[in-house]
Amino acid sequence: MIIQAQMRRYAFDGHFTIARGSRTHVEVIEVAITRGGITGIGECVPYARYGESVESVLAQIGALPEDVTLDALQTLLPAGAARNGVDCALWDLAAKTAGRPVHQLLSLPAPHPLTTAFTLSLDTPEAMRAKAAANAARPLLKIKLGTADDLPRLRAVREGAPDAALILDANEGWTPESYLALVPELAALGVALVEQPLPAGADDALRDLPRPVPICADESCHDRHSLPDLAGKYDLINIKLDKTGGLTEALALKTEALAQGFGLMVGCMASSSLSMAPAMLVAQGAAFVDLDGPLLLSQDRENGLIYEQSRIIPATPALWG
């Protein structure tokens, strides 16, 4: 078996800004694993917030034994981008070798189309109003916030898209005080969900704060080991394969989170359709789906997912799985 990994760069359609900074492109790692003349592929996104870089992820993948199995992988690498890329490539390889889709190998129902949120980058209120208006027909918009002056942005988006449900994503950028300042406005402005308002590791205050709309853990939730600390602070968790370390752990986290009473959101890093395809299996039945990564790029990869506005059609074998 041969494991190969390389960096690929995708440009954003414009710039993409969150509370932690602005970018014009995203760098992903594409993993290809070949055995017996059959190649499986996967994709992951190194994320500096979690101490990852292109170089560190490539080094982790390069240190793996070439006969690595799915079971062994779960202990050889920690949860994170490197394990995700290899895990998804191994599942794709297994499907191609067996001549059966991944959902059948996992005894899951065939995936059906899903409706995704569409993300509005952090910008001036005027720019966010215009972007919201251009996407007002979409049923669910996700707004990047996380500054000390977010209420004008929220109001501007609501003016631009009066009928869409809204997710607010602060990316750890608020304090308890800034959250409390927005609380009276949340339900009135049609907010359906607030994602990661406070920094991970400094979010105990959420146990005592008012909750007019549900709160979802993102940076505070990586894999099943995260769950014990989330009870009483969050209503939902955001499952991302780059955090869980692949499809294997993502499905296990989904099962355990549901058993513990958490609602589910399935999200993504900004990346191509190759990252979205395995996440579509996890997203089946989730309360919120945020798999709009390819919609944020100027160009997706070949054989990418089909997006009908905000409706995602599951992957064909030409892409993954």
Strand blocks (E) in 93-246: 114-115, 118-120, 140-144, 165-169, 191-195, 215-217, 236-239
Strands 311-313, 306-308: parallel, antiparallel or unpaired by DSSP?
A: antiparallel
Q: Which residue in the block uniquely carries the two structure tokens 């001549």?
A: 99
Tell me the CA distances in angstroms from 266 to 22, 140, 181, 207, 218, one per residue in order: 23, 14, 28, 23, 10
Q: Assess contact for 70 and 90: CB atoms under 8 A.
A: yes
Burial grade of 239 (CB within 10 A; 0-12, 13-18, 19 or more)? buried
Pure H helices in the chain: 54-62, 70-76, 81-98, 102-105, 125-134, 151-160, 176-186, 241-244, 247-259, 273-283
Active site residues: 144, 240
Query: In this structure, what are the phi and psi dihedrals at residue 149, rounded to the nearest 5 degrees?
Result: -135, 60
Distance CA 90, CA 239 (A): 20
